[in-house]
Chains A and B, each alone.
Chain A
């Protein structure tokens, strides 16, 4: 069977999920929901097919499993959001349309994605600007102490999401050029590169620290810096780089946790979510405590789909259920089994990402695929880890599942890039 036919077959489970999910929600809450709301599911099915056709035409050799896996994740997200709020599901379905346009545009415009290397400094500068945008007075927005959003007119988005891709492209390109230089010089038996080669990398570390100070978001900076370290390690094959890098990051994070009040609050809320003072405090541990309570109610099998207690009357019990806490909602309704199943889908997706990196022929492609996959994986770790109290809770989205336009669009671009890399690698391998 050809790769594309396998892909089409792979989309069947996602279709079943969306049909069953929308059907279940509609049966249960039919009184509350309009018939029109069922079309959001139909839109989604159409989009899956459209994406498949685009890939079939432009990237016939691309990995056949990535798109179906993404479709499964997106359908889980859409169904859960639909169950929470039909209006949000409509918005989310519309964002999928925008995401698909971005997906198609990436595939069509970046026939040869290696042209990106030529613009790497422009991309890096643009990404930096995007990152700092939320601190620009007038358009920047603060939520829970972190500066992540930008709003211009009626449009609001999270620039860090877009900057993510840019910085990875820059790093992949930069590391491909300097990887040999980074490991060439040895002093006292250890790899010790020259300052001019290590300089830009220290800059990236500084950037991550800057994000902590300016954007005040531990989660995003962990995500960025983790992706960077993974790429650095893959480029050099020297364990010393990630070890030293992680040490530097920990030192920086510790410093800011003890000096910046907002970061410190998050850390203490994480350490002791049931402390009555932190629990009552605005922006304190209420959210994480509620997340844990909701998961406990889920148990092994969950309370059943559509059963989660999200709000009573107008007062929310699970704040930000459709974004930050969507994993807690899923565990509450589908139990440990549902949560683990979701994590397994992500593991499958990450596995495809790294397989693409392994199969890719040139270092830029390998580094790019590694970076993109690692950042998505770390994003899952940061938010699910935050919701399950592995690390302090910070507001990043659960890729493809959480409600949020910027996140959907960015992640579709990431998938498009991975498919582009995969298509080239597999075509070359076939020859």
Chain B
């Protein structure tokens, strides 16, 4: 009887081998898949027990903080409600995390803090996250929201000298506090106007004439043109074989580039674009940041790339400017298949303002650990040198004229020179649906603020009359 006994033992050993294999599978082989499973909330659940760091504005206003609940877990609250909704984001068990809450999750939970936190744990202290400080300006943000007055659109303002983001307004907004309830989350997810969308970084719009600043930078910096170079500004010049119209079908005759920018003459800039060519244009656009997700400290899926979007086999895809689907003349005046995010256009203004050096935009300035020491510093970084200081100076002079006597007078501030450019992209000619834009920086001689404003789908709105006044109000607040 001993042989069968040993065989039974052998069969059981095999079964135990199976157990060992499956344990290996879950702990090692399939580990990453299981941890990435959307149903796996262990990470988030564990974080409920951590006192998450606060998020504050530059003036110390608390934008997010954690409240201790009776059962030892923490609940997130947003004292300013919807003021910085899409930027600050949210952190709740059910919808998860978004915005700064997501991007800086490691810092806010203290999980990436390393040795100090480990020591705290050994001392038996509660795990506590690092506080996040930002450069955001609540008053100016409120003005931006008030100015948009419920019209879907975006305002983004930053300091061109260091890239610090001051205003990041996206309308419609929402109150992140309501996301505590799963039902409200579902409602917001399917709400009209997509309030959860951060339009400043993930809204893609045709830029219209504000893009002429990019064309002008390429034209002058490459040495092909000067602000005084003259080009034929007649109406109906053929671009890529199709006649192009100026606004109001106006004939300008031979005019210089400064006048052409001040009056936003399409035919001039389209011809300039054709002269500059796809390759050169592409190079300058890349220096401005086009072609890849707009660089800012927000999660990857909340940032989109600006550039030419062509449809290949039914799918809209960003392409290089050298692609055959690109009409360079119309791209140069912000038409064709060009789509941009408001933050990208603020970066264009910022690069001119900072004498050709584009600083990488940054919302957070630093994180501070529970003992008050700086845990992480988001130091200003140069993104690229877009153009020479001389080119930037020339462009500044041209853009200053736009606000002084051209299409952008609506943004003029008393006693401070503003450099800007208007844009009005036509979305639907028959119903007169437009996308007004305005980009600017001020003061023109010592730029401290660069801004981009856009409003979605207005009926007959213009950049100069609808977007420029919003920029004016926000800049006024920021320069105070």
A residues neighboring B (CB under 8 Å): 30-31, 230, 233-235, 237, 274, 276, 279, 289, 292-300, 309, 312-314, 317, 331, 335-336, 339-340, 343, 346-347, 350-351, 354, 357-358, 363, 366, 370, 374, 377-378, 380-381, 384-385, 388-390
Contact = CB atoms under 8 A, between A and B. Distances in A.
B41 to A, nearest CB: 8
A419 to B, nearest CB: 18
Contact of B19 (A313, A335, A343): A343
A274 B9 CA distance: 35
Contact of A370 (B8, B23, B42): B8
B27 A295 contact: yes
B4 A347 contact: no
A293 B27 contact: no
B415 interface: no
Contacts of B7: 233
A368 to B, nearest CB: 12
A385 B40 CA distance: 21
Interface string B60-74: 000000000101110
Interface in B29-52: 30-31, 34-35, 37, 39-40, 42, 45-46, 48-49
A357 B2 CA distance: 8
Nearest to A236: B4
B3 interface: yes
B429 interface: no
B1 interface: yes
Given A234-B8, A299-B27, A358-B2, A293 B42 contact: yes
Interface of B: 1-9, 12-13, 15-16, 18-20, 22-28, 30-31, 34-35, 37, 39-40, 42, 45-46, 48-49, 69, 71-73, 124
Nearest to A350: B12
B73 A313 contact: yes
Contacts of B23: 295, 331, 336, 339-340, 343, 384, 388
A347 B2 CA distance: 18
Contacts of A335: 27
Contact of A384 (B19, B28, B42, B48): B19
Contacts of B45: 309, 312, 317
A377 B31 CA distance: 27
Contacts of A331: 23, 26-27
16 contacts: A30-B124, A230-B8, A274-B37, A293-B35, A312-B45, A312-B48, A317-B42, A331-B26, A336-B28, A339-B27, A343-B23, A358-B5, A377-B15, A378-B15, A385-B22, A390-B18
A277 to B, nearest CB: 12
Given A292-B34, A384-B19, A234 B12 contact: no
> Which 10 pairs show the lowest CB-CB distances between chains A and B?
A313-B71, A296-B34, A388-B22, A295-B26, A336-B27, A354-B9, A234-B4, A339-B23, A293-B40, A230-B8
Most A CB atoms within 10 A — which of B3, B16, B124? Answer: B16
Contact of A374 (B12, B35, B124): B12
Nearest to B26: A295
B22 A390 contact: yes
A293 B27 CA distance: 9
B205 to A, nearest CB: 36
A313 B22 contact: no
Contact of B26 (A31, A312, A370, A388): A388
Most B CB atoms within 10 A — which of A234, A279, A296, A331? Answer: A296
A380 B72 CA distance: 36
Contacts of A317: 42, 45
A299 B31 contact: yes
Contacts of B46: 309, 312
Contact of B16 (A295, A300, A343): A343
Contacts of B42: 293-294, 297, 309, 317
Contacts of A336: 23-24, 27-28
Nearest to A340: B20
Contacts of B34: 292-293, 295-296
A102 to B, nearest CB: 25
A237 B7 CA distance: 10
Given A296-B35, A309-B42, A312-B45, A357 B5 contact: yes
B67 to A, nearest CB: 14
Given A336-B23, A378-B15, 7 more contacts: A279-B39, A299-B31, A312-B73, A343-B19, A370-B8, A381-B16, A389-B26
Most B CB atoms within 10 A — which of A312, A347, A380, A390? Answer: A312
What does DSSP make chain B's interface, helix, strand, loop or mixed?
Answer: helix
A411 to B, nearest CB: 17
What does DSSP make chain A's interface, helix, strand, loop or mixed?
Answer: helix
B16 A366 contact: no
Nearest to B18: A390
A343 B5 contact: no
Nearest to B47: A312
A377 B12 CA distance: 7
B8 A233 contact: yes
A24 to B, nearest CB: 13
Nearest to B40: A293
Contacts of A314: 71
A393 B25 CA distance: 17
B1 A300 contact: no
Most B CB atoms within 10 A — which of A276, A370, A388, A390? Answer: A388
B5 A313 contact: no
B26 A313 contact: no
B49 to A, nearest CB: 7
A301 to B, nearest CB: 9
Given A233-B4, A366-B5, A346 B35 contact: no
Contacts of B16: 343, 346-347, 377, 380-381
Most A CB atoms within 10 A — which of B16, B27, B31, B42? Answer: B27
A72 B38 CA distance: 38
Contacts of A354: 5-6, 8-9
Given A298-B27, A309-B42, A314-B71, A389 B2 contact: no
A275 to B, nearest CB: 10
Contacts of A295: 23, 26-27, 34
Contacts of A380: 16, 19
A411 B69 CA distance: 43
Contact of B27 (A296, A312, A389): A296
Contact of B20 (A289, A292, A343, A378): A343
A374 B10 CA distance: 11
A310 to B, nearest CB: 10
Contacts of A235: 1
Contacts of B9: 350-351, 354
Nearest to B46: A309
A307 to B, nearest CB: 9
B6 to A, nearest CB: 7
A249 to B, nearest CB: 15
A294 B39 CA distance: 12
Most A CB atoms within 10 A — which of B6, B35, B40, B48? Answer: B40
A137 to B, nearest CB: 37
Contacts of B4: 233-234, 237
B70 to A, nearest CB: 8
Nearest to A370: B5
Contacts of A374: 8, 12
A139 B10 CA distance: 41
Given A274-B37, A279-B39, A388-B19, A31 B12 contact: no
A388 B16 CA distance: 12
A360 B329 CA distance: 97
A274 B6 contact: no
Nearest to B70: A313
A234 B5 contact: yes
Contacts of B39: 274, 276, 279, 289, 293
Nearest to A279: B39
Contacts of B69: 313
B324 to A, nearest CB: 44
Nearest to B7: A233
